[in-house]
Amino acid sequence: MSVFLDSSILIAALVPSELKHAESLACLMSGTPLVYQHAFLETFAMLTGGRLGTKADADLVAKLIKQTLLPRVRVVHLDEQEVVEALQTARRHGVRGGAVYDFMHLVAARKSGATILCTLNLDDFQQLSRVGDPLIQLP
């Protein structure tokens, strides 16, 4: 069983005050989970942008990503051809606006062969899921 984590899990794992912190941290610490490279950008943006109620220092967040996340995960990369192909199929799967970010996590999860995609945004991912994608579940 291989587990893929989206940025909602990474954020909750890093922020003790987050509702699902313990469960998300357990996901991060279990085995070597997979993540799409873009999850680090989303994590940085959320933690430094103030949408969680505070704005964390950018240097601190970069250090947390480097020292806490990177050593514990295997990063899945999509090349430019894979991104373009995914974007060309996006409309058929109802992808609009910001949903493209979740869709790309699913594309990366499928590429990696993950059997489970763990997220705190269950409904968003279930709406985008296609046959052959990993099982979408909460931590």
pLDDT digits (tens, 9 = 90+) for 59-114: 999 999 999 999 999 999 999 999 999 999 998 888 999 999 999 999 999 999 99
Q: Does domain 3-130 have CATH number 3.40.50.1010?
A: yes
Q: Which residue has the higher pLDDT, 49 or 34?
A: 34
Per cent of the chain over pLDDT 70 is 98
Q: Both tokens of residue 74?
A: 């295997």
Q: What is the mean pLDDT of residues 109-120?
A: 97
Q: What is the mean pLDDT of residues 15-20?
A: 92
Distance CA 106, CA 130 (A): 9
pTM over 0.85: yes
Q: Both tokens of residue 119?
A: 């997220």
Residue 116: strand, helix, or coil:
strand
